[in-house]
Chain A
Amino acid sequence: MIAITGLLIGVALAFCINFHIPDAYTVYVAVGILAALDSVFGGIAASMKKKFNIVIFLTGFFSNVLIAAGLTYFGKILGLDLYMAAIIVFGTRLFQNFAIIRRLLLIKLEKRDKIYVSENSDED
Protein backbone atom coordinates (compact mmCIF):
# COMPACT_ATOMS: atom_id res chain seq x y z
CA MET A 1 0.00 0.00 0.00
CA ILE A 2 0.99 3.60 0.14
CA ALA A 3 2.84 3.18 3.42
CA ILE A 4 5.30 0.64 2.02
CA THR A 5 5.94 2.58 -1.19
CA GLY A 6 6.51 5.68 0.93
CA LEU A 7 9.07 3.85 3.04
CA LEU A 8 10.89 2.50 -0.01
CA ILE A 9 11.00 5.95 -1.61
CA GLY A 10 12.45 7.38 1.62
CA VAL A 11 15.11 4.66 1.83
CA ALA A 12 16.08 5.18 -1.82
CA LEU A 13 16.37 8.94 -1.32
CA ALA A 14 18.65 8.45 1.67
CA PHE A 15 20.98 6.25 -0.36
CA CYS A 16 21.16 8.84 -3.12
CA ILE A 17 22.05 11.78 -0.94
CA ASN A 18 25.66 11.81 0.20
CA PHE A 19 25.14 13.45 3.57
CA HIS A 20 25.93 12.10 7.01
CA ILE A 21 24.37 13.20 10.28
CA PRO A 22 27.13 14.66 12.46
CA ASP A 23 28.22 12.49 15.36
CA ALA A 24 26.83 14.83 18.03
CA TYR A 25 23.25 14.79 16.73
CA THR A 26 22.77 11.07 16.19
CA VAL A 27 21.36 10.66 19.73
CA TYR A 28 18.50 13.03 19.01
CA VAL A 29 17.69 11.47 15.67
CA ALA A 30 17.70 8.00 17.21
CA VAL A 31 15.28 8.98 19.98
CA GLY A 32 13.15 10.81 17.42
CA ILE A 33 12.99 7.67 15.29
CA LEU A 34 11.79 5.64 18.27
CA ALA A 35 9.06 8.19 18.98
CA ALA A 36 8.05 8.23 15.31
CA LEU A 37 7.84 4.43 15.16
CA ASP A 38 5.66 4.42 18.25
CA SER A 39 3.16 6.82 16.71
CA VAL A 40 3.22 4.97 13.37
CA PHE A 41 2.34 1.65 14.96
CA GLY A 42 -0.22 3.41 17.11
CA GLY A 43 -1.74 4.70 13.89
CA ILE A 44 -1.76 1.22 12.35
CA ALA A 45 -3.50 -0.20 15.43
CA ALA A 46 -6.05 2.64 15.34
CA SER A 47 -6.79 2.08 11.67
CA MET A 48 -7.40 -1.61 12.29
CA LYS A 49 -9.89 -0.68 15.00
CA LYS A 50 -11.46 1.69 12.47
CA LYS A 51 -10.72 4.55 14.82
CA PHE A 52 -8.00 6.23 12.72
CA ASN A 53 -7.95 10.02 12.78
CA ILE A 54 -5.42 11.68 10.51
CA VAL A 55 -5.17 14.83 12.62
CA ILE A 56 -4.47 12.89 15.81
CA PHE A 57 -1.93 10.79 13.93
CA LEU A 58 0.00 13.71 12.46
CA THR A 59 0.00 15.84 15.58
CA GLY A 60 0.94 12.83 17.69
CA PHE A 61 3.76 11.94 15.29
CA PHE A 62 5.47 15.31 15.30
CA SER A 63 4.83 16.15 18.92
CA ASN A 64 6.23 12.78 20.06
CA VAL A 65 9.38 13.39 18.07
CA LEU A 66 9.82 16.92 19.37
CA ILE A 67 9.17 15.94 22.97
CA ALA A 68 11.53 12.99 22.77
CA ALA A 69 14.32 15.14 21.28
CA GLY A 70 13.62 17.91 23.75
CA LEU A 71 13.74 15.49 26.67
CA THR A 72 17.10 14.17 25.46
CA TYR A 73 18.53 17.66 25.18
CA PHE A 74 17.16 18.66 28.56
CA GLY A 75 18.67 15.54 30.06
CA LYS A 76 22.03 16.41 28.52
CA ILE A 77 22.17 19.86 30.04
CA LEU A 78 20.90 18.59 33.39
CA GLY A 79 23.48 15.84 33.36
CA LEU A 80 20.87 13.07 33.65
CA ASP A 81 20.19 10.45 30.97
CA LEU A 82 16.57 11.49 30.49
CA TYR A 83 16.45 9.89 27.05
CA MET A 84 16.14 6.60 28.91
CA ALA A 85 12.61 7.60 29.89
CA ALA A 86 11.71 8.06 26.23
CA ILE A 87 13.24 4.68 25.35
CA ILE A 88 11.31 2.85 28.07
CA VAL A 89 7.98 4.52 27.37
CA PHE A 90 8.10 4.30 23.58
CA GLY A 91 9.52 0.81 23.72
CA THR A 92 6.71 -0.34 26.01
CA ARG A 93 4.09 1.25 23.78
CA LEU A 94 5.60 -0.39 20.73
CA PHE A 95 5.21 -3.80 22.32
CA GLN A 96 1.64 -2.98 23.38
CA ASN A 97 0.75 -1.83 19.87
CA PHE A 98 2.31 -4.95 18.36
CA ALA A 99 0.14 -7.03 20.69
CA ILE A 100 -3.00 -5.11 19.73
CA ILE A 101 -2.25 -5.44 16.02
CA ARG A 102 -1.57 -9.13 16.38
CA ARG A 103 -4.83 -9.70 18.24
CA LEU A 104 -6.84 -7.68 15.71
CA LEU A 105 -5.29 -9.62 12.84
CA LEU A 106 -6.18 -12.93 14.46
CA ILE A 107 -9.76 -11.78 15.09
CA LYS A 108 -10.05 -10.74 11.45
CA LEU A 109 -8.84 -14.12 10.26
CA GLU A 110 -11.26 -15.90 12.63
CA LYS A 111 -14.20 -13.80 11.39
CA ARG A 112 -13.37 -14.61 7.79
CA ASP A 113 -13.41 -18.31 8.62
CA LYS A 114 -16.70 -18.00 10.52
CA ILE A 115 -18.40 -16.21 7.56
CA TYR A 116 -17.24 -18.90 5.21
CA VAL A 117 -18.61 -21.64 7.47
CA SER A 118 -21.97 -19.93 8.03
CA GLU A 119 -22.45 -19.30 4.29
CA ASN A 120 -21.86 -22.97 3.56
CA SER A 121 -24.30 -24.09 6.22
CA ASP A 122 -27.07 -21.89 4.65
CA GLU A 123 -27.29 -24.09 1.60
CA ASP A 124 -29.51 -26.73 3.08
Chain B
Amino acid sequence: MKIKSSQLAIGLVCILLGFVITMQIKSVSFNTNRETAIKSGNTRLEEASSLKAENEELKKKIIMLEEEIDFYNQNLGATGDGRVMLEQIKRAETLAGLTSLTGEGVVVTMNDSKAKGADGVSSENYLIHDDDVRKVVNELFAAGAEAISINGERMIVTSAIRCVGPVIVINNNRYSPPYVISAIGDRKTLSAALNQRDGVVDTLRNLWKIEIDIVEKEKVVIPRYTGTTTFKYAKKTAE
Protein backbone atom coordinates (compact mmCIF):
# COMPACT_ATOMS: atom_id res chain seq x y z
CA MET B 1 0.00 0.00 0.00
CA LYS B 2 1.53 3.26 -1.09
CA ILE B 3 1.50 5.83 1.64
CA LYS B 4 0.59 9.26 0.39
CA SER B 5 2.64 12.09 1.73
CA SER B 6 -0.51 13.68 3.05
CA GLN B 7 -1.32 10.57 5.07
CA LEU B 8 2.19 10.64 6.51
CA ALA B 9 1.81 14.27 7.44
CA ILE B 10 -1.49 13.59 9.20
CA GLY B 11 0.07 10.63 11.00
CA LEU B 12 2.98 12.70 12.26
CA VAL B 13 0.68 15.51 13.32
CA CYS B 14 -1.47 13.03 15.26
CA ILE B 15 1.56 11.53 16.98
CA LEU B 16 2.64 15.02 17.99
CA LEU B 17 -0.85 15.90 19.23
CA GLY B 18 -1.26 12.71 21.26
CA PHE B 19 2.18 13.18 22.75
CA VAL B 20 1.69 16.80 23.74
CA ILE B 21 -1.81 16.33 25.18
CA THR B 22 -0.74 13.39 27.33
CA MET B 23 2.41 15.20 28.46
CA GLN B 24 0.37 18.25 29.41
CA ILE B 25 -2.16 16.23 31.42
CA LYS B 26 0.63 14.41 33.24
CA SER B 27 2.51 17.63 33.98
CA VAL B 28 -0.52 19.49 35.28
CA SER B 29 -1.50 16.70 37.67
CA PHE B 30 2.12 16.29 38.78
CA ASN B 31 2.52 20.03 39.38
CA THR B 32 -0.72 20.39 41.35
CA ASN B 33 0.19 17.37 43.48
CA ARG B 34 3.60 18.84 44.18
CA GLU B 35 2.07 22.20 45.07
CA THR B 36 -0.37 20.71 47.55
CA ALA B 37 2.42 18.60 49.05
CA ILE B 38 4.65 21.66 49.46
CA LYS B 39 1.80 23.71 50.93
CA SER B 40 0.90 21.05 53.48
CA GLY B 41 4.60 20.70 54.32
CA ASN B 42 4.81 24.43 54.91
CA THR B 43 1.73 24.49 57.14
CA ARG B 44 3.23 21.64 59.17
CA LEU B 45 6.47 23.58 59.57
CA GLU B 46 4.59 26.71 60.62
CA GLU B 47 2.51 24.72 63.10
CA ALA B 48 5.65 23.15 64.52
CA SER B 49 7.49 26.43 64.98
CA SER B 50 4.49 28.19 66.55
CA LEU B 51 4.06 25.28 68.93
CA LYS B 52 7.75 25.49 69.82
CA ALA B 53 7.43 29.21 70.58
CA GLU B 54 4.38 28.51 72.76
CA ASN B 55 6.39 25.84 74.53
CA GLU B 56 9.19 28.27 75.34
CA GLU B 57 6.72 30.81 76.73
CA LEU B 58 5.06 28.19 78.90
CA LYS B 59 8.42 26.99 80.21
CA LYS B 60 9.22 30.55 81.32
CA LYS B 61 5.85 30.73 83.05
CA ILE B 62 6.60 27.50 84.88
CA ILE B 63 9.83 28.92 86.24
CA MET B 64 8.02 32.05 87.47
CA LEU B 65 5.29 30.03 89.15
CA GLU B 66 7.87 27.78 90.80
CA GLU B 67 9.62 30.80 92.24
CA GLU B 68 6.30 31.92 93.69
CA ILE B 69 5.80 28.48 95.21
CA ASP B 70 9.26 28.62 96.76
CA PHE B 71 8.42 31.98 98.28
CA TYR B 72 5.24 30.63 99.87
CA ASN B 73 7.09 27.54 101.01
CA GLN B 74 9.60 29.70 102.85
CA ASN B 75 6.82 31.41 104.73
CA LEU B 76 5.30 28.03 105.46
CA GLY B 77 8.55 26.78 106.92
CA ALA B 78 8.43 29.39 109.68
CA THR B 79 5.90 27.49 111.86
CA GLY B 80 6.44 23.99 113.26
CA ASP B 81 3.83 22.13 111.20
CA GLY B 82 4.83 24.07 108.18
CA ARG B 83 8.46 23.09 108.63
CA VAL B 84 7.61 19.39 108.64
CA MET B 85 5.55 19.76 105.48
CA LEU B 86 8.35 21.74 103.85
CA GLU B 87 10.87 19.01 104.67
CA GLN B 88 8.54 16.43 103.12
CA ILE B 89 8.16 18.55 99.99
CA LYS B 90 11.91 19.05 99.69
CA ARG B 91 12.57 15.35 100.10
CA ALA B 92 9.97 14.48 97.48
CA GLU B 93 11.40 17.04 95.07
CA THR B 94 14.90 15.68 95.47
CA LEU B 95 13.79 12.12 94.81
CA ALA B 96 11.69 13.24 91.84
CA GLY B 97 14.68 14.91 90.24
CA LEU B 98 13.27 18.42 90.47
CA THR B 99 16.27 19.91 92.23
CA SER B 100 19.81 20.10 90.99
CA LEU B 101 22.25 18.20 93.15
CA THR B 102 25.97 18.13 93.74
CA GLY B 103 28.35 15.64 95.32
CA GLU B 104 31.26 13.35 94.53
CA GLY B 105 30.86 10.97 91.65
CA VAL B 106 31.99 10.07 88.15
CA VAL B 107 31.65 11.56 84.69
CA VAL B 108 31.53 9.01 81.86
CA THR B 109 32.06 10.24 78.30
CA MET B 110 31.00 7.93 75.44
CA ASN B 111 31.80 8.46 71.81
CA ASP B 112 31.37 6.46 68.61
CA SER B 113 34.20 4.16 67.73
CA LYS B 114 36.72 5.57 65.29
CA ALA B 115 38.03 2.12 64.40
CA LYS B 116 37.61 0.66 60.94
CA GLY B 117 35.08 -2.12 60.83
CA ALA B 118 36.14 -5.74 60.36
CA ASP B 119 35.07 -7.26 57.06
CA GLY B 120 31.56 -8.58 57.07
CA VAL B 121 30.58 -6.84 60.29
CA SER B 122 27.96 -4.11 59.93
CA SER B 123 29.33 -0.69 60.73
CA GLU B 124 26.31 -0.14 62.98
CA ASN B 125 28.05 -2.13 65.70
CA TYR B 126 30.72 0.54 66.00
CA LEU B 127 28.20 3.27 66.83
CA ILE B 128 26.68 3.97 70.21
CA HIS B 129 23.12 2.71 70.54
CA ASP B 130 20.46 3.51 73.08
CA ASP B 131 20.98 0.19 74.84
CA ASP B 132 24.70 0.91 75.31
CA VAL B 133 23.84 4.12 77.14
CA ARG B 134 21.14 2.31 79.11
CA LYS B 135 23.63 -0.35 80.22
CA VAL B 136 25.99 2.28 81.60
CA VAL B 137 23.14 4.07 83.42
CA ASN B 138 21.83 0.80 84.81
CA GLU B 139 25.27 -0.22 86.07
CA LEU B 140 25.69 3.15 87.77
CA PHE B 141 22.30 2.93 89.51
CA ALA B 142 23.05 -0.62 90.55
CA ALA B 143 26.33 0.57 92.05
CA GLY B 144 24.48 3.09 94.19
CA ALA B 145 24.30 6.26 92.07
CA GLU B 146 21.86 8.69 93.63
CA ALA B 147 21.40 10.94 90.63
CA ILE B 148 22.34 10.56 86.95
CA SER B 149 22.18 12.96 84.02
CA ILE B 150 22.98 12.38 80.34
CA ASN B 151 24.08 15.46 78.37
CA GLY B 152 22.32 17.58 80.97
CA GLU B 153 19.09 15.56 80.95
CA ARG B 154 18.28 14.39 84.45
CA MET B 155 17.16 10.78 84.72
CA ILE B 156 13.84 10.61 86.54
CA VAL B 157 11.48 7.71 87.12
CA THR B 158 9.82 8.09 83.71
CA SER B 159 12.93 8.94 81.68
CA ALA B 160 13.41 6.92 78.52
CA ILE B 161 16.47 6.57 76.29
CA ARG B 162 15.53 5.78 72.69
CA CYS B 163 17.26 5.50 69.34
CA VAL B 164 15.86 7.61 66.51
CA GLY B 165 17.96 7.07 63.42
CA PRO B 166 21.45 8.45 64.06
CA VAL B 167 20.59 10.30 67.28
CA ILE B 168 19.37 9.32 70.73
CA VAL B 169 16.25 10.83 72.28
CA ILE B 170 16.41 11.40 76.04
CA ASN B 171 13.45 12.94 77.88
CA ASN B 172 12.02 13.80 74.44
CA ASN B 173 15.09 15.82 73.45
CA ARG B 174 17.54 14.75 70.76
CA TYR B 175 21.24 14.27 71.40
CA SER B 176 24.11 13.07 69.27
CA PRO B 177 27.47 11.79 70.49
CA PRO B 178 29.51 12.44 72.53
CA TYR B 179 27.34 11.45 75.48
CA VAL B 180 28.40 12.80 78.86
CA ILE B 181 26.90 10.78 81.71
CA SER B 182 27.31 12.30 85.18
CA ALA B 183 26.50 10.34 88.32
CA ILE B 184 26.64 11.22 92.02
CA GLY B 185 27.66 8.46 94.42
CA ASP B 186 30.77 6.81 95.88
CA ARG B 187 33.19 7.46 93.06
CA LYS B 188 35.40 4.44 93.64
CA THR B 189 32.41 2.08 93.71
CA LEU B 190 30.85 3.61 90.63
CA SER B 191 33.96 3.41 88.48
CA ALA B 192 34.84 -0.08 89.73
CA ALA B 193 31.35 -1.29 88.81
CA LEU B 194 31.75 0.02 85.28
CA ASN B 195 35.27 -1.33 84.87
CA GLN B 196 34.51 -4.91 85.94
CA ARG B 197 35.89 -7.70 83.79
CA ASP B 198 33.22 -8.62 81.21
CA GLY B 199 31.32 -5.58 82.40
CA VAL B 200 29.84 -2.75 80.39
CA VAL B 201 33.07 -0.94 79.63
CA ASP B 202 34.96 -4.16 78.89
CA THR B 203 32.48 -5.22 76.22
CA LEU B 204 32.02 -1.83 74.62
CA ARG B 205 35.64 -0.77 74.65
CA ASN B 206 37.47 -3.97 73.89
CA LEU B 207 34.99 -5.61 71.55
CA TRP B 208 33.73 -2.68 69.54
CA LYS B 209 36.31 -0.02 70.40
CA ILE B 210 33.64 2.45 71.47
CA GLU B 211 35.35 5.28 73.26
CA ILE B 212 34.50 5.33 76.94
CA ASP B 213 36.25 7.62 79.34
CA ILE B 214 35.59 7.46 83.11
CA VAL B 215 36.71 10.32 85.33
CA GLU B 216 36.25 10.27 89.10
CA LYS B 217 35.46 13.65 90.51
CA GLU B 218 35.13 15.23 93.92
CA LYS B 219 32.32 17.47 92.82
CA VAL B 220 29.75 16.56 90.20
CA VAL B 221 26.82 18.86 89.49
CA ILE B 222 23.67 17.28 88.15
CA PRO B 223 20.96 19.61 86.87
CA ARG B 224 17.29 19.32 87.65
CA TYR B 225 14.72 17.76 85.35
CA THR B 226 13.16 20.36 83.03
CA GLY B 227 10.37 18.45 81.31
CA THR B 228 6.68 18.13 82.08
CA THR B 229 5.58 16.31 85.20
CA THR B 230 1.82 15.77 85.01
CA PHE B 231 0.35 12.29 85.27
CA LYS B 232 -2.71 11.68 83.13
CA TYR B 233 -3.45 8.08 84.01
CA ALA B 234 -1.83 7.28 87.34
CA LYS B 235 -3.94 8.11 90.40
CA LYS B 236 -3.18 7.69 94.03
CA THR B 237 -4.45 4.34 95.37
CA ALA B 238 -6.69 4.39 98.41
CA GLU B 239 -4.50 3.45 101.36
Contact = CB atoms under 8 A, between A and B. Distances in A.
B20 A58 contact: no
Contacts of B22: 10-11, 14-15
A104 B17 CA distance: 24
B69 interface: no
B21 A33 contact: yes
A5 interface: yes
Interface string B16-37: 1111111110111011000000
Contacts of B13: 6, 40, 57-58, 61
B122 interface: no
Interface string A1-24: 011111111110111010111110
Given A21-B23, A32-B20, A54-B6, A2 B31 contact: no
Interface residues of A, number: 33
B78 interface: no
Contacts of A10: 14-22
Nearest to A52: B6
B79 interface: no
Q: By CB atoms of chain A within 10 A, which of B10, B11, B30 has the most?
A: B10
B27 A21 contact: yes
Nearest to B8: A2
B12 interface: yes
B9 interface: yes
B27 to A, nearest CB: 4
A7 B24 contact: no
Interface of B: 5-7, 9-24, 26-28, 30-31
Interface of A: 2-11, 13-15, 17, 19-23, 26, 29-30, 32-33, 36-37, 40, 43, 52, 54, 57-58, 61
21 contacts: A2-B14, A6-B11, A6-B14, A6-B17, A9-B14, A9-B18, A10-B16, A10-B18, A14-B18, A15-B22, A20-B31, A21-B23, A23-B27, A26-B24, A26-B27, A26-B28, A29-B27, A37-B17, A40-B13, A54-B10, A61-B13
